[in-house]
Amino acid sequence: MKKILLILVGGTICTAVNEKGTLSVSEKAGFVLTDNFDKSDSEFAKKVNFTLTENLFILSENMTVKNWNLIIETYRKYIVKDNFDGVIFAHGTDTLAYSSALFSLLLANTEIPVFFVSSNKRLDHPEANGNENFRCAVECICKGISPNVYVSYKNISDSQMYIHLASRLKQCENYSDDFFSKGAVKSIEEINEDNRKNLPFGLNDVHLSECVLMLKPYPGINYNAFDYNRFKAILHGTYHSGTACAEDNENSVLHMIKLCKKSDIYLSPSIPEGEVYDTVRVIGENKKIKFLYGLTNEMAYAKLLIAYSVFNNENDISEFINTEYNYEITEKR
């Protein structure tokens, strides 16, 4: 029999309707998932030995750096107990792309397949996709999918199951139950060869800290409102064309740079090369700005968080950020 570790993080896939008529994380979630799988018509039904962790009871929207450290500790605690053939994280949808990006790096050296699964609705809802997402993950592990970190998710709009590289998953949009990533496939036969790079640290060396501030531009953002110097790094997003305000006022990235006395500043996704807008050129002339390009927003945040939590040396931080470890670069310069 195959042995699979099921880490019960929380989220909708682990919820049930409570006496108030709202959704809360259920202690029975793991047993519901595995029982539904064993009752399914899967060729691997009742042929998998599941090891369930304690339920962490984390609703996805309540994910924090502290909770990520709890998940890391849970993984470390259980993974040494047996020779598992795979690992499945049962996780909510709201922050799924952030957690999958983070763990796609932390577990880039994994020698077994790791899946993140979620559900658009509680498992006993007739329109829920959680049982199918879980079944896909289990079957992929049983069929021998290549070691890596994945997300299996059935989109509602086209009723199609997709296997995503966790390093490339994007957040689900508002008013949608669909997830997307560049290069998502529909079967394990489409998984590419393994070109991962070894990490310069071990999972036992990782304790994440709240060291990165992530900002997104919008018309009228006032940069005087933030305490930048609490953070080691600032990740500033851009509009779709890689731009941000660069006028001489308090709504400008240039004003933010003046306020950042200690923090490193990253603009993503943007690049000051080629036929760019004047605003990008002006921002790029400031030597304090570092540009990130080719990563999802979720991956950019995860990568900076790991870099500034693990490393103290500027060269080590730079090398980690600029090295591709697990297919996280989706756009080339």
238 and 162 housed in the same domain: no
The stretch 219-239 carries a mean pLDDT of 96
The stretch 293-319 carries a mean pLDDT of 97
Q: Does 25 have pLDDT greater than 90?
A: no
Angle at CA of residue 208, ends 56 and 239, nearest 5°? 100
Q: Measured between alpha carbons, how far is 194 from 66 in angstroms, rounded to an integer?
A: 31
Contact 74, 53 (CB under 8 A): yes
In a domain, 330, yes or no: no
214 and 186 housed in the same domain: no
Q: What is the pLDDT of residue 194?
A: 80
Q: Does 195 have pLDDT greater than 90?
A: no
26 and 137 housed in the same domain: yes
Range of the domain at 259: 210-293
Of the chain, the percentage scoring pLDDT greater than 70 comes to 100
In a domain, 103, yes or no: yes
Give the predicted TM-score (pTM) of the model. 0.95
Considering only the C-alpha atoms of the chain, give the largest distance between any 2 of them, rounded to a whole number of Å. Answer: 66
Q: For 145, which DSSP code?
A: P
pLDDT grade, residue 303 (50/70/90)? very high
Q: Measured between alpha carbons, how far is 153 from 97 in angstroms, rounded to an integer?
A: 12
79 and 145 housed in the same domain: yes
Q: Does 265 have pLDDT greater than 90?
A: yes
In a domain, 333, yes or no: no
Q: How many domains does the chain have?
A: 2
In a domain, 299, yes or no: no
Contact 210, 249 (CB under 8 A): no
159 and 14 housed in the same domain: yes
Q: 93: domain CATH number?
A: 3.40.50.1170
pLDDT grade, residue 21 (50/70/90)? confident
Q: Measured between alpha carbons, how far is 289 from 264 in angstroms, rounded to an integer?
A: 8
The stretch 70-85 carries a mean pLDDT of 96
CB atoms under 10 Å from CB of 144, counted, come to: 12
Question: What are the tens digits of pLDDT across the range 275-289?
Answer: 899 999 999 999 999
In a domain, 157, yes or no: yes
Q: What is the pLDDT of residue 20?
A: 81
169 and 275 housed in the same domain: no
In a domain, 94, yes or no: yes
184 and 226 housed in the same domain: no
Q: Measured between alpha carbons, how far is 333 from 320 in angstroms, rounded to an integer?
A: 18
13 and 97 housed in the same domain: yes
The DSSP element (H or E) to which 8 belongs, if any, is strand 2-8
pLDDT grade, residue 15 (50/70/90)? confident
In a domain, 205, yes or no: no
SS3 243: coil
The stretch 14-23 carries a mean pLDDT of 77
Q: Measured between alpha carbons, how far is 255 from 250 in angstroms, rounded to an integer?
A: 6
